[in-house]
């Protein structure tokens, strides 16, 4: 039910917006993409949560108890900020490696079969790619004893924002895009023009710090109103350098 509710909310928000602003250029949702979105946002997340809990439960016995007590005494806002920051750093590092190491690219390339950017294809992923991202992003916080329950709402917002990033909405934030990723910025990552850049999830500041940031061109610069590229899906191996 959680997955169905997530798909329904995203459909009510992003489907009308794409139809309104993109018109004939909007990609119609495919049943397999909607099924993947439902599965990963329900069973996929629960499976990842179980893996995270088991690994954290095993590894926490090797951590000094004072560390865990120190984390537990920190204010909520600091714990939430640390948890979200650790998650974003993992997404950036893992995504960058996925475009560099063939052993990871063979899983990640499934996500780059997107031809038309659209909200419904957000979770077009290989299961291994999905689990490695979700487990790696949330394991550090769980390992340190950060209470994730109070930030559950923020996690839901993060998942919805990820859907926004994959939508075909022509949103751009100006200079703020160097801090927070926009749909137009992430769309660039899915095109051959990008050259293996813009790896960050939401915090594009990590791309700026990692020297992998490429700003999107304006419509006037590109001369395009609707970009339709199969990105890196046809390349047998990713770029071999970091």
In this predicted structure, what is the pLDDT of residue 14? 85
Cβ count near 143 (within 10 Å): 20
In this predicted structure, what is the pLDDT of residue 222? 46
β-pair partners for 203: 180
Print the SS3 string covering 205-223.
HHHHHCCCCCCCCCHHHHC
Token pair of 25, please? 């250029």
In this predicted structure, what is the pLDDT of residue 121? 87
β-pair partners for 180: 203
In this predicted structure, what is the pLDDT of residue 194? 66
In this predicted structure, what is the pLDDT of residue 230? 46
What are the domain boundaries of the chain? Answer: 2-222
Q: Contact at 8 Å (CB) between 216 and 172?
A: yes
Q: Contact at 8 Å (CB) between 199 and 207?
A: yes
Token pair of 184, please? 């137009």
Quote the CA–CA distance of 239 and 242 in Å, as a whole number.
Answer: 8
In this predicted structure, what is the pLDDT of residue 23? 58
In this predicted structure, what is the pLDDT of residue 103? 93
pTM: 0.82
Render each residue's pLDDT in the chain as its tens digit; 242 residues: 777 888 888 889 888 888 787 755 667 778 888 998 899 888 888 888 888 888 888 888 887 878 777 877 888 888 888 888 999 999 999 999 999 899 999 999 999 887 778 888 888 899 999 999 999 988 888 888 777 666 677 778 888 999 999 988 888 888 999 999 999 888 888 887 666 788 998 999 999 999 999 887 655 444 444 444 444 444 444 444 44
In this predicted structure, what is the pLDDT of residue 104? 92
């Amino acid at each position: 039910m959680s997955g169905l509710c997530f798909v329904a909310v995203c459909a009510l928000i992003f489907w009308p917006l794409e139809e309104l602003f993109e018109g004939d250029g909007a990609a119609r949702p495919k049943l397999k993409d909607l099924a993947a979105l439902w599965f990963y946002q329900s069973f996929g997340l629960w499976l990842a949560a179980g893996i995270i809990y088991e690994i954290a439960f095993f590894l926490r016995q090797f951590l000094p108890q004072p560390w865990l007590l120190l984390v537990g005494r920190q204010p909520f806002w600091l714990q939430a900020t640390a948890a979200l920051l650790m998650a974003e750093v993992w997404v950036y590092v893992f995504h960058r490696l996925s475009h560099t190491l063939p052993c990871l690219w063979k899983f990640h390339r499934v996500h780059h079969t997107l031809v038309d950017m659209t909200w419904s294809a957000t979770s077009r992923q290989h299961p291994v790619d999905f689990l490695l991202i979700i487990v790696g992003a949330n394991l550090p916080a769980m390992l340190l004893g950060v209470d994730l329950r109070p930030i559950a709402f923020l996690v839901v917002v993060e998942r919805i924002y990820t859907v926004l990033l994959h939508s075909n909405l022509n949103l751009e934030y100006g200079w703020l895009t160097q801090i927070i990723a926009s749909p137009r910025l992430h769309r660039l990552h899915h095109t051959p023009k990008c050259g293996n850049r813009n790896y960050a999830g939401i915090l594009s500041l990590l791309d700026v710090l990692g020297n992998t940031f490429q700003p999107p061109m304006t419509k006037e610069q590109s001369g395009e109103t609707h970009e339709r590229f199969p990105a890196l899906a046809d390349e047998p191996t990713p770029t071999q350098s970091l």
